[in-house]
Amino acid sequence: MRQPRYNSLITLVAGGGHASSGAGAHATELDLTLGTKPAIDAVLNPLTTQSDAYTVATGELATLRRLLNNQQDETYNILFSSRDLLRRSLGNQYSTAWTGTGFTFSLRVPRSVARLQGMARTLKAYLVANPEMERAELMTAALIGTALDNLTNAENAVKLKKSAVGTLLALRKQKEKALRRHLRWVVDELGRVIDPMDDRWTAFGFNKPGLKQTPAVPTGLAVVLMNNVAASVKWSKAARAEYYRVWIKVNGVDLTMQSVGSPADLDFTIENLPPNSVIEIAVCAVNNGGQSALSQVVTVTTA
């Protein structure tokens, strides 16, 4: 049977934990080198530490992004109010009188960080050059300069944290790769010292190599009633199946499916069916690696 694939960080860390636990119990008796608990923990623990650091950093980045959004809104509102104040002197429509204020060919206030910064920078310079246009506590060069600084600082904080998150993610991926590689080494080492069906494989969180892959689900299930007391059941061959199990459920009697036979062939006769009953019938395939899911259910009604 194939070994676990560890398709996510969660399953990989869990796999490392199982291997560490199994190593603590069996590494000494098996005289393992790579499969010892200290050796496994040496690659598992840095991954969990790096993963925690990445999680914390992504949370901090989310917080900084919210702060940036808030600062965008604040800067937008200040510029929006400033525009309405300037209209009293420069007119309600754009004209050359607005030149130098940061409004170019339009009185629309932008939304993007870069354009808000550009407009705030220009309007601040305009008010420095034209102090008579300022309105105390409503539109001053100092007020707009503070908003510009806050917006720029918030943007820079997000950029720096994004860079840090990217670095932490790259480091986490390196630790993931190291643990995956080490677990493969442990599998190889175990394969040299214990039997493919040894139960200690599962103590390490691995599959027994001697087990076959679970068989495919049988298809093509067909059921024919015979004299209302028996049913002939047939199905198509399932890949990797060594034999099959036939299941029935008598509605109103059984709470779950009940196994009624384990044929090696592709057909089976169910006898002594109860009269006046609705019966569900299904089949699964079995090998030493386990059993498949049930096939499509066929329902018959006896007279």
pLDDT value for 213: 85
pLDDT value for 180: 97
The whole-angstrom separation of Cα 11 and Cα 149 is 45
* Domains of the chain and CATH, by start: 1-211 (no CATH), 222-301 (2.60.40.10)
Per-residue pLDDT of the chain (303 residues; tens, 9 = 90+): 889 999 999 999 999 999 999 999 999 999 999 999 999 999 999 999 999 999 999 999 999 999 999 999 999 999 999 999 999 999 999 999 999 999 999 999 999 999 999 999 999 999 999 999 999 999 999 999 999 999 999 999 999 999 999 999 999 999 999 999 999 999 999 999 999 999 999 999 999 998 888 899 999 999 999 988 899 999 999 999 999 999 999 999 999 999 999 999 999 999 999 999 999 999 999 998 889 999 999 999 998
The whole-angstrom separation of Cα 61 and Cα 57 is 6
The whole-angstrom separation of Cα 181 and Cα 185 is 6
CA dihedral 83→87→89→90, nearest 10 degrees, is 90
pLDDT value for 78: 97
pTM, rounded to two decimals? 0.73
pLDDT value for 167: 98
pLDDT value for 211: 85
Closest CA to 84 of 12, 139, 126: 139
Q: Are 231 and 224 in contact (CB under 8 A)?
A: yes
pLDDT value for 174: 98
Residue 115 β-bridge partners? none
Residue 3 phi/psi, 5° resolution? Answer: -80, 160
pLDDT value for 288: 86
Q: Beta strand 230-234 with 267-270: parallel, antiparallel or unpaired? A: antiparallel
